[in-house]
Amino acid sequence: MIAYTRGRFDGPVGTDEVSIDTVAGTVVARIYAPPGDLTSGDDVVAATASIPVGVVDLERTAVLGPWPPDASDPSDPLGLRSTPVVLLADPSLARVALAGIARAGRAPETRSVGPPATALGLDLLAAVTSGVEAIVVSGANGRQIDLVRILGGRAIVASPVSDGSDGHAWLAAAEFDAEIPIPIGHDVDRVAMPPVALGPMHQLVQVDPTPALEEAGEPIDAAPDVLAAAAAGVLAGRIAAGNRRWRAAFGP
């Protein structure tokens, strides 16, 4: 469950942390997108949630962006409600991921955002509130995995498989786990996957990317990065379709 806190931006206290002055005192929050033009004294909103990591729960607070102090919460305590969010390092792959979502999810309502900006968290929440069923974030980095998890979404990473060292650094920036689709049925070398992606933290899911490739007009022997984006889109589409069925059966 997510708790929302309003306060005034007080400035950075570290590389990825900022201070927020609230009625209850000073809160140190993490920032998962560029701060942009936020300046000291600006009214902001933050989200706090506990995320299970192994046998413990880690509580984290994320700055979501500028927010009027008298406005209602940007969402409810369920936030993204398990909505799949595909994170792409390469913006040019967004169309492939969206094609996979459309085909596998039977044309769900989608939103493409990015590159990440100050109000990314608010943008994600607003999208889901408006009825969006799957989101693609282009130009993302590994830290956005944590933002998605804090907000109650399912982070799906199209792993940058063509460069193992870059992929390792990208995923190592995340504190929480993501779902990483592994393309199957194609000549994709698992050794090319970043070593951290094969560790116990992340959830590896075998996915046939063919539906996305067909929808996007890409060849079956596409580059590994294209296959990864295609697999991520197909997985997100399946999750979106599953969420739709679940909500139809049990309500919002």
**143-182 residue pLDDT tens:** 999 999 999 999 999 976 555 556 677 788 899 999 999 8
Q: Can you point out the beta strands (E) in the chain?
A: 3-12, 17-22, 25-30, 43-53, 56-66, 84-88, 110-113, 134-138, 154-157, 179-183, 203-207
Average pLDDT value over all residues in the chain: 89
Q: In what order do the strands lie in the sheet with 110-113?
A: 110-113, 134-138, 84-88, 154-157, 179-183, 203-207
Of all residues in the chain, the percent with pLDDT exceeding 90 is: 68
Q: Which residues pair with 63 in a beta bridge?
A: 46
How large is the average pLDDT for residues 209-226?
93
Nearest 10 degrees: CA dihedral of 198, 200, 203, 206? 40
Residue 185's contacts (CB-CB under 8 Å, 6 or more residues apart) are 208, 209, 210
At 35 the pLDDT is 82
Find how far residue 131's CA is from the centre of its chain: 17
| Contact of 28 with 17, CB cutoff 8 Å | yes
Of all residues in the chain, the percent with pLDDT exceeding 70 is: 90
- Dig out the tokens for 41 from the structure: 């004294």
**50-71 residue pLDDT tens:** 998 888 899 999 999 999 999 9
Domains of the chain listed by start with CATH number: 3-66 (2.40.50.140), 84-250 (3.40.50)
